Amino acid sequence: MKTPPAVRPKRPHFSSGPCAKPPGWNPNQIDTRILGRSHRSALGKARLKLAIDLMREMLQLPDSHRIGIVAGSDTGAFEMAMWSMLGARPVTCLAWESFGEGWVTDAVKQLKLDPTIIRADYGELPDLRQVDWSDDVLFTWNGTTSGVRVPHGEWIADDREGLSFADATSAVFAYDLPWDRIDVATFSWQKALGGEGGHGVLILGPRAGERLESFTPDRPLPKIFRLTKGGKLIEGIFTGETINTPSMLAVEDAIVALEWAKSVGGLQGMIARTAANAAALDRIVEGRNWLGHLAQDPTSRSKTSVCLTVDGADVDFIKRFAKLLEAEGAAFDIAGYRDAPPGLRIWCGATIDTADIEALGPWLDWAWEQCQ
């Protein structure tokens, strides 16, 4: 196939973060009244609270869970939780991809907690039955760089003594998460919502709130990590009074994305769109003997950040492959993550249209032939 296919994906934005904007997005949708105003003004706090309220509605989050907008994307939110809450009891870290390994590094080298570490190779999920729930447990719900996710929340003990810390970016708005089993969750708008980067979201269940008010870590906490004052939670954080100055442009963009999510059926609509995209990519993989899934087990295979193997490919091959598609405007940013085995990574979250996934198949064939 020397001639490029005639039909290109209309929106070739298959990056796994920042991800595609919602269909039909344009900057004129953004309410500009707050731009140039203080986030501490009545209007600023009202817009931040609206973003929080929409996230609660779209995630179907119970009233028992608090939502805060914090700095530093998902990484900032998860590190805020680690530095503020860990050390009260033993810790277990699960790692099956690069971000989980990042939390291991923090726990071992920075916080010096001597955690129990349960690992699995890229493409695999560790044996979750090994987890001792008398520990605090840190894990990544959806391994963005490996394409492996936990299939459900039943492995999280109802009678756990420790807290469950879920790095849930690439998972929220794509799966029906069991909030009664999640004590701490973090994510960023730049993934499933197609929002802008730089801001994280921290969700605290009631047991996490109790931990913060009963435990004082024996380490200095920078201001940006402090969730308590005088032994009590700073409740304003969870009503729109952010610790540091947020980008109100990014907040307004997130509101646009959340309102779009509401328009397509809310959480269930987002889940359905994601599932349809992943199924379309599955059909592409099944029809080509040179493509495969890095995650072999379909029950733990990501439906958002889908990682693919390419027969015989090394890093240089994948770079050429991805650059060909980018130059043609057929697919942007689909090379696998730098620490993962050489392959492709294609975002299938809800802001992608299934027709664009389907149009990608012939382009993958074209690039494969060009690289032989």
* 87 in the same domain as 127: yes
| Phi, psi angle pair for 301, to nearest 5° | -85, 130
Q: Which residues pair with 344 in a beta bridge?
A: 308, 335
Residue ending a domain, choose from 231, 261, 291: 261
* 280 in the same domain as 160: no
Dist. CA 326–CA 194, nearest whole Å:
20
DSSP codes, 232-249:
EE-GGGGTT--SS---HH
pLDDT for the residue 2: 76
* 215 in the same domain as 75: yes
Beta strands in 90-183 (DSSP E): 91-95, 116-119, 136-140, 142-143, 148-149, 164-167
* 300 in the same domain as 251: no
* 302 in the same domain as 162: no
Looking up residue 168, the CATH number of its domain turns out to be 3.40.640.10
Cis amide bond preceding 342, omega within 30: no
* 182 in the same domain as 290: no
Domain assignment present for residue 226? The answer is: yes
Domain assignment present for residue 12? The answer is: no
Number of domains in the chain: 2
| Phi, psi angle pair for 188, to nearest 5° | -135, 155
Domain assignment present for residue 22? The answer is: no
Tens of pLDDT, residues 290-328: 999 999 999 999 999 999 999 999 999 999 999 999 999
* 80 in the same domain as 53: yes
Under 8 Å between Cβ of 7 and 355: no
Residues of the chain predicted below pLDDT 70: 1
* 270 in the same domain as 254: no
Under 8 Å between Cβ of 306 and 281: yes
Residues in the chain: 372
* 105 in the same domain as 71: yes
pLDDT for the residue 198: 94
Determine the structural domain holding residue 228 and report its residue range: 27-261
Dist. CA 345–CA 342, nearest whole Å:
10
pLDDT for the residue 353: 98
Domain assignment present for residue 3? The answer is: no
Tens of pLDDT, residues 91-143: 999 999 999 999 999 999 999 999 999 999 999 999 999 999 999 999 999 99
* 241 in the same domain as 219: yes
Burial 264-294 (b: 16+ CB within 10 A, else e): eebbebbbebbbbbbebbbebbeeeeebbbb
Domain assignment present for residue 250? The answer is: yes
Whether the model clears a pTM of 0.85, i.e. scores above it, the answer is yes
Residue ending a domain, choose from 216, 233, 261: 261
Domain assignment present for residue 58? The answer is: yes
Domain assignment present for residue 127? The answer is: yes
Which residue in 142, 89, 143 sits closest to 116, CA to CA? 89
Residue ending a domain, choose from 216, 232, 261: 261
* 322 in the same domain as 364: yes
pLDDT for the residue 31: 93
Looking up residue 361, the CATH number of its domain turns out to be 3.90.1150.10
* 191 in the same domain as 72: yes
pLDDT for the residue 303: 98
Which residue in 106, 150, 158 sits closest to 126, CA to CA? 150
- Which segments of 165-313 does DSSP mark as H helices, in order? 206-214, 248-263, 266-286
Residue type, 352: I
| HSE toward the beta carbon, residue 106, CA cutoff 13 A | 23
Domain assignment present for residue 6? The answer is: no
